[in-house]
């Protein structure tokens, strides 16, 4: 049997908005992925550590506080440093369009903004996970 895709849904920073993260986590689980949810207030170090320990294929970051330009690249950096080179990293939340190019440059493969159906996220993971 093929190994199931493992996804870490993570809430970096101090943001408490977890409706989106939980809805996405549920939808991914219903779509057959193995989902680990970190809960709130995770530092980049904690997220990188959890990703390593859980041996995940995908890290899905959710942030609505505006700190994405600081936190997302920091997490990518830590993940790369820990040698997880083939993990797919995606992000979502209230993220202005104008910030997306630089996040992608930093290593976030795709950014999903408000109104995105969960099916679009599922399809994206299926098409891009290594």
Partner 1 sequence: MDNENLKSKVAEYTAKVEKASAKFPERKNLEYNRLYTPLDIEGMDYLRDLGLPGTYPFTRGVQPTMYRGRFWTMRMYAGFSTAEESNKRYRYLLESGSTGLSCAFDLPTQIGYDSDDVISEGEVGKVGVAIDSLADMEILFDQIDLGKVSTSMTINAPASVLLAMYIAVAEKNGIGPEKLNGTIQNDILKEYAARGTYIFPPKPSMRLITNIFEYCSKNVPNWNTISISGYHIREAGSTAAQEIAFTIADGIAYCEAAIKAGLDVDDFAGRLSFFWNAHNNVLEEVAKFRASRRVWAKVMKERFGAKNPKSWMLRVHTQTAGSMLTAQQPENNIVRVALQTAAAVMGGTQSLHTNSKDEALALPTEDSVRVALRTQQIVAYESGLADVVDPLAGSYYVEAMTNEIEAEALKYIQKIDDIGGAVVAIEQGYIQREIQESAYKWQKEVENDDRIIVGVNKFQIEEKPVEGLLRVDASVGELQKKKLADLRAKRDNVAVNAALAALESGCSDENVNLMPLIMDAVKTYATLGEICGVMRKVFGEYQAVATL
Contact residues for partner 1, defined by CB under 8 A: 13-19, 22-23, 25-27, 29, 35, 37-41, 43, 65-67, 69-71, 94, 96-98, 113-115, 117-119
**Residue closer to partner 1, measured from CB, 38 or 57:** 38
CB nearer to partner 1: give 27 or 129: 27
How far, in Å, CA of 114 to CA of 95, rounded? Answer: 9
β pairing state of 6-10 and 58-62: parallel
Shortest distance, CB of residue 1 to partner 1, whole angstroms? 24
User: Both ends of the chain: CA-CA distance in Å?
Assistant: 17
Minimum distance from residue 43 beta carbon to partner 1 (Å): 7
Residue 127 beta carbon to partner 1: minimum distance, rounded to whole angstroms: 19
Which residue(s) pair with 20 in the sheet? none
Task: Please count the residues of the chain.
Answer: 130
CB hemisphere CA count around 47 (13 angstroms): 31
């Amino acid at each position: 049997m093929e190994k199931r895709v493992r996804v870490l849904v993570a809430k970096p920073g101090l943001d408490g908005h977890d409706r989106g993260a939980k809805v996405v986590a549920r939808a991914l689980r219903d779509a057959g992925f193995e989902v680990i949810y970190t809960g709130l207030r995770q530092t980049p170090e904690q997220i990188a550590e959890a990703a390593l320990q859980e041996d995940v294929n995908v890290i899905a970051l959710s942030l609505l506080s505006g700190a994405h330009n600081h936190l997302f690249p920091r997490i990518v950096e830590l993940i790369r440093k820990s040698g997880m080179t083939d993990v797919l990293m995606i992000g979502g939340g209230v993220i202005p369009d104008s910030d997306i190019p630089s996040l992608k440059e930093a290593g976030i493969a795709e950014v999903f903004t408000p109104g995105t159906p969960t099916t679009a996220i599922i399809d994206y993971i299926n098409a891009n996970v290594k």
